[in-house]
Structure 1
Amino acid sequence: MDAHGQELKKELGAALDARRELGPEYEAALVDSFVEKVDTQVRRRLAEERLSAARGGGSPQAPAEGNFGERFGFAIVTLVLAIPLSAIAAAQAHLSGLLVAWAGIVGVNFIHASKSLRRRD
């Protein structure tokens, strides 16, 4: 795992610890804060990759390939967010909450993938 991944793992641990200490009434604020940090990391990483490709450090993406970095980043963000969302949903509504949370995660990824494929055509 690289430095970015380690940093996000520490942030997630801190958010989960804070949730335990503060209680469920602060869950939404903690999740929002973590989402912002993940979003910032993904944007920073994509900017670094674009800069590297522009400088010749990497191969520029062909237009036919679509934006792999965006799709990959989106998938990573949804998987990282699936952990606290699953915990919250299971704690609040048990199996039914967990199923609804994962249906939402799958649905969001499906919609994003279908939009990416339409843009590519």
Structure 2
Amino acid sequence: MDAHARELKKELDATLDARRELGPEYESALVDSFVEKVDTQVRRRLAEERLSAARSPAGPGPSALAEGGFGERFGFAVITLVLAIPLSAIAAAHAHLAGLLVAWGGVLGVNFIHAAKRLRREPAA
């Protein structure tokens, strides 16, 4: 596990501990705060990757930095999976298996829509 993942895990643990202490009435604010931290981490990591790609002698790859390239797809996947963890916990705690299925159905739906938009943007090879 790299430093970025460890830092995000610490943030998630702190958010879940705060939720346990403060109760469900602060849940929305805690999730928003965690999403901001994840977004900041993803943006920082993408900036680091862009900087290292720009500094490399070969330069950045053709699609590595392009709109819809690997960085965007990876960031989107990381954010949805990281958000799925607290959503799963909340859904399972309140609605058991049905809530868990709805939460993961939403995660899968968002990823499916994102992939479908990407496929429409790319020309056929």
TM-score normalised by length of structure 1: 0.92
Aligned CA distance change for structure 1 residues 41 and 72 (closer, same or farther; 3 Å) = same
Percent identical pairs in the alignment equals 79
Tell me the equivalent position of 1:44. 44
Q: Per-residue displacement from partner, 1:10-69 (whole Å, max 9, x unpaired)?
A: 000000100110011111111110000001100111111111111116752324985011
Report how far residue 71 of structure 1 moved. 0.3
Cα distance in 1, alignment partners of residues 51 and 98 from structure 2: 44
Cα distance in 2, alignment partners of residues 58 and 108 from structure 1: 35
Cα distance in 2, alignment partners of residues 97 and 26 from structure 1: 20
Structure 2 gap ranges (5+) = none
Other structure's SS at 1:62 match: coil
Cα distance in 2, alignment partners of residues 59 and 106 from structure 1: 35
Cα distance in 1, alignment partners of residues 74 and 54 from structure 2: 19
Q: Per-residue displacement from partner, 1:48-107 (whole Å, max 9, x unpaired)?
A: 111111111675232498501110111111111111000111111111111111110000
Cα distance in 2, alignment partners of residues 77 and 25 from structure 1: 23
C-alpha RMSD of matched pairs (Å): 1.8
Report how far residue 118 of structure 1 moved. 2.1
Aligned CA distance change for structure 1 residues 42 and 58 (closer, same or farther; 3 Å) = farther
Aligned CA distance change for structure 1 residues 92 and 59 (closer, same or farther; 3 Å) = farther
Other structure's SS at 2:32 match: helix
Tell me the equivalent position of 1:54. 54
Paired residues of 1:38 and 1:77 also in contact (CA < 8 A): yes
Aligned CA distance change for structure 1 residues 57 and 6 (closer, same or farther; 3 Å) = farther
Paired residues of 1:52 and 1:58 also in contact (CA < 8 A): no
Residue correspondences, number? 121
Cα distance in 2, alignment partners of residues 83 and 63 from structure 1: 30
Name the structure where helix makes up a greater proportion of residues: 1
TM-score normalised by length of structure 2: 0.89
Paired residues of 1:42 and 1:73 also in contact (CA < 8 A): yes
Tell me the equivalent position of 1:22. 22
